[in-house]
Structure 1
Amino acid sequence: MVFLCFWALTLVACCTTSLAEASDLSHLHPPLWDESPGQFSDFQVKNNVYIINAWVYPQRMGMYKILLNQTARYFSKFGPENEQNILWGLCLQHGWQYNTGRLVDPSRRTSCGYESADPLCISVDSWWADINYFLSALPFLAAVDSGILGVSPHQVKLLPPPKDQMKFCYDVASCHLTFPEKMNKWNLFYQYLQSPSSNFDDLLQHLWAAHTSSLEGISEHFDDRMAYYYKPEAEFGKNWTLAVEYLAAVRIPTTMIRVHESQKGLPPRVLLDTDVAPFISDLTYFQNTVLSVLNILCSVDQMTGSLSLTLWKNVMKAQIVRKLVLDLLDYFIVT
Structure 2
Amino acid sequence: MSHPDRLEELDLYSVWATARDLEGAFDPFSFEQRMAAYRTMIANTNTDDRFGADNRHNPLWGLMFQHQWQFRTDRLGAGTRQDGRIDPDSPWGYGNYTLSVVPWLGAAVAGVVPALPVADPPTRSRFRYVTGGTVPEELVPAVADWRAYFFLVAGGDLTDPEPARLALWKAHKTSLDVVVGVLADVDTDPWPDLEVTFLRGWCRMVDYLWAAAWPTDFTFMTAHGLDVLPESLLTSPEDLDALPAKARGNVVNVLRLATTPRWRYGLNLLLWRRIMRTREARDRVLPLLDAVFDPRPDNAAERRAVLRHLLRR
Matched, 1:89 2:62: yes
Matched, 1:72 2:34: no
Match for 1:201 among 162, 168, 172?
162
Matched, 1:121 2:121: no
Residue pairs, 1:55-70, within 5 angstroms: 55-70=29-44
Unaligned runs of 5+ in 1: 1-21, 44-49, 106-111
Higher RCO (CA-CA < 8 Å; seq separation 6+)? 1
- The 3-state SS of whatever aligns with 2:238 is coil
- The 3-state SS of whatever aligns with 1:306 is helix
2:30 partner amino acid = V
1:55 partner amino acid = F
1:113 partner amino acid = T
The structure-2 alpha-carbon separation of the partners of 1:269 and 1:225, relative to structure 1 and needing over 3 Å to count, comes to farther
Q: Deviations over 1:103-157 (max 9, x none)?
A: 115xxxxxx4263xxx3110011110011101001111111111112x3x3x433
Q: Please state how far the C-alpha of 1:85 moved relative to its aligned partner.
A: 0.7
Counterpart residue number, 2:71: 98
- The 3-state SS of whatever aligns with 1:174 is coil
Q: Please state how far the C-alpha of 1:300 moved relative to its aligned partner.
A: 4.5
The structure-2 alpha-carbon separation of the partners of 1:192 and 1:129, relative to structure 1 and needing over 3 Å to count, comes to same
TM-align CA RMSD: 2.8
Aligned partners of 1:146 and 1:187 also within 8 Å = yes
**Alignment partners' CA distance in 2, 1:301 and 1:317:** 24
Counterpart residue number, 1:243: 205
1:141 partner amino acid = L
Q: Please state how far the C-alpha of 1:195 moved relative to its aligned partner.
A: 2.2
1:144 partner amino acid = A
Aligned partners of 2:149 and 2:167 also within 8 Å = yes
Q: Deviations over 1:281-307 (max 9, x none)?
A: 3x2111111112223334445461521
Counterpart residue number, 1:163: 124
Q: Please state how far the C-alpha of 1:58 moved relative to its aligned partner.
A: 0.6
Unaligned runs of 5+ in 2: 291-297, 300-313
**Alignment partners' CA distance in 1, 2:244 and 2:190:** 25
Counterpart residue number, 1:32: 15
Matched, 1:210 2:171: yes
TM-score relative to the length of structure 1:
0.75
| Runs of 4+ residues over 6 Å off in structure 1 | 327-330
Aligned partners of 1:233 and 1:272 also within 8 Å = yes
Aligned partners of 2:42 and 2:61 also within 8 Å = yes
Counterpart residue number, 1:9: none
Counterpart residue number, 2:104: 140
The sequence identity of aligned pairs, in percent, is 24
The structure-2 alpha-carbon separation of the partners of 1:273 and 1:24, relative to structure 1 and needing over 3 Å to count, comes to closer
Residue pairs, 1:293-332, within 5 angstroms: 293-300=253-260, 302=262, 304-326=264-286
TM-score relative to the length of structure 2:
0.80
Alignment: residue pair count: 285
**Greater mean alpha carbon deviation, residues 317-326 or residues 133-142:** 317-326
Counterpart residue number, 1:226: 188
The structure-2 alpha-carbon separation of the partners of 1:317 and 1:180, relative to structure 1 and needing over 3 Å to count, comes to farther
- The 3-state SS of whatever aligns with 1:65 is helix
Q: Deviations over 1:171-208 (max 9, x none)?
A: 8x733865332111111111111224233110101110
Counterpart residue number, 2:246: 286
The structure-2 alpha-carbon separation of the partners of 1:99 and 1:114, relative to structure 1 and needing over 3 Å to count, comes to closer
